[in-house]
Amino acid sequence: MDKQSKHETVKALKDELKELDSIFLCNFKGMTVARDTTLRRDLREQGATYRVVKNTLLKLAFADSEFAQLNDQLSGNTAMAFHEEDILGLAKLIAKAAKDNEKFEFKAGVVQGKVIDINDLETLANLPSKEALVAKLMYLMNYPIQGLATALNGITRNFVVVLDQIKQQKEQ
């Protein structure tokens, strides 16, 4: 790669990274082509980006950004993975890939300005999805209203039962 190509690559990486607040770095050394292809397909289907980039170019692209915290992780084979919207989904896929492939290794990442390690990645991967959290929130918001409606319905039902019992007592 000549100097001009490297400069253009670094500029393109910087432009791409400006829009992100989270990124994961992985080591893929020793993975079979089939497993790597499967991983890339799964990430692409989710809308994530997975790219192998030279460490020196990543260091230049990370300069003056919150991702510069990852410079000490830039050794060996490095692939970066990111998703502009669904960080939890990406974390689940990366954690699954690390479990399924002994050769695939999560190095480190930055999530909203904080450096994470493999333990933090596992924590992220075990969080419920956005849809599940929204469903729980909706349930919690709906529960008091539903309880009130049930209680009000019970009052009218009990009132009718009491009136019926009074009627039966008067008939006897």
Q: What's the CATH code of the domain at 115? A: 3.30.70.1730
pTM for this predicted structure: 0.71
- DSSP secondary structure string for all residues of the chain: --HHHHHHHHHHHHHHHHT-SEEEEEE-TT--HHHHHHHHHHHHHHT-EEEE--HHHHHHHHTTSGGGGGGGG--SS-EEEE-SS-HHHHHHHHHHHHHH-TT-EEEEEEETTEEE-HHHHHHHHHSPPHHHHHHHHHHHHHHHHHHHHHHHHHHHHHHHHHHHHHHHHHH-
Q: Are residues 121 and 142 in the same domain?
A: no
Q: Are residues 56 and 30 in the same domain?
A: yes
Q: Are residues 77 and 136 in the same domain?
A: no
Q: Are residues 16 and 83 in the same domain?
A: yes
Q: Are residues 137 and 53 in the same domain?
A: no
| pLDDT of amino acid 130 | 78
Question: What is the rounded CA–CA span in Å between residue 67 and residue 22?
Answer: 8
- Full residue range of the structural domain in which residue 30 is found: 3-127
Q: Are residues 172 and 111 in the same domain?
A: no
Split at pLDDT 50, 70, 90, the class of 148 is confident
Q: Are residues 168 and 105 in the same domain?
A: no
| pLDDT of amino acid 32 | 86
Q: Are residues 118 and 170 in the same domain?
A: no
Q: In whole angstroms, what separates CA 22 from the centre of its chain?
A: 10
| pLDDT of amino acid 45 | 92
Percent of the residues in the chain that have a pLDDT greater than 70, as a whole number: 100
* pLDDT tens digits, one per residue of 34-93: 888 999 999 999 899 998 989 889 898 888 888 888 888 888 888 999 998 888 888 999
Q: Are residues 120 and 37 in the same domain?
A: yes
Mean pLDDT (whole number) for 107-117: 88
* pLDDT tens digits, one per residue of 126-144: 888 778 888 999 998 988 8
Split at pLDDT 50, 70, 90, the class of 24 is very high
Q: Are residues 139 and 169 in the same domain?
A: yes
What is the number of structural domains in the chain?
2
Q: Are residues 147 and 115 in the same domain?
A: no
Q: Are residues 73 and 155 in the same domain?
A: no
| pLDDT of amino acid 81 | 92
